[in-house]
Structure 1
Amino acid sequence: MIISLVGMPGSGKSTVGRQMARQIGVPFVDSDAEIEVRLGETVREFFERSGEDAFRDLESEVIADLLSGPGDFVLATGGGAVLREANRQALHQHSAVLYLRSSPEELFRRLRHDTQRPLLQVRDPLQKLRELYAQRNPLYRSCAHFVLETGRPTVTGLVNMALMQLELAGLLDPARVAATVGAERAERN
């Protein structure tokens, strides 16, 4: 089984994905990290040198390769992966897609000091996040099987909610999820 995470930059896809993969005992894959391995340079460097269209072409190729490969894993996609119809279709057809929904204001609080995200290196990052959200939210929703609000829960809480949704849908063996129930409470004690 492949579990894919989609959402805006800074919504927690990599953080949640890494912990989710650890909980269910499968590898974690970050599509941006895979792209960097292929390129031998950072996404930001490639993006600045070659532009967004070239990056999106490579991103589509990497996502298609990952989804057609063997094995179970959790995949964190880049925030703009849903911009291409082919990516949305491939993600929806070949994985269980979780949309980590965050408001632009929430994202701004998390990302205001981040200098590594090319699309946010603008004069008014909050306005840019609002524009990206308006454009992308319908696309995330169209390919998602599940939508999780990221506003209040801790990372552990989000992981637990995601795993329980997958279990309730019959997509995940309950034996893999049982160890996570109550884990957040146990961590506090």
Structure 2
Amino acid sequence: MGLGQFFGKDKKDEEKSEQQKLGETIKNLSDRIYELQKQLNQRTSEIDQLTMQLAEAQKQADAARGAASAEQMALSATQEALRDANARMRELEAQIGQLAKEKAAMEEQAKSAGAAIAELAGGKLGLAVGATAWVQKAGGKNLRRRSAPGLNSQVHDGLAPGTQLTLLEGPVAADGYHWWRIRTTDGREGWVAGEELVTAPE
């Protein structure tokens, strides 16, 4: 083997290693978005529940005010109920405000992570809408072509290593991967995991 071939191989190995590192970074960011989305859904559920509790507390406060007015504040129990209802309303409003702030912060983190994925996937890895890509040959496994982004979507078929594709849309983060809508040279379309794609035939 000549020196040129030796150094050429080193350079190719180095590029592959760099691409693998970028793929791992993208997967980590996708995982982070997935976890943030779960937390966002939880926060949304908590806010919805607290909002319902707040509406109930407001009803109780209105009822207490009506009773207090009718009896002209004669019953201490009614006054106590009114104070409790107003205190609960203030507590719920504070909790909703705090959860709304946390949710906004999580949405911003998810947005930043998504932008990082787009930069890595669309720029440094060379994957971009309109570009040509190939199913990587490493591992020798077929790449599943799906009906939608995500591991729970329907599988149409498997694309053999080395299959040439055109990228139509993406990336879309789901289930720890970033997904691209593709079209094969024989006209089949669907979604595939971008981690299994390369920007040059191997």
Q: Output the TM-score relative to the length of structure 2.
A: 0.20
Which structure would you say has the larger Rg? Answer: 2
More strand per residue: 2
Instruction: State the structure with bigger RCO (CA 8 A, min sep 6), 1 or 2.
Output: 1
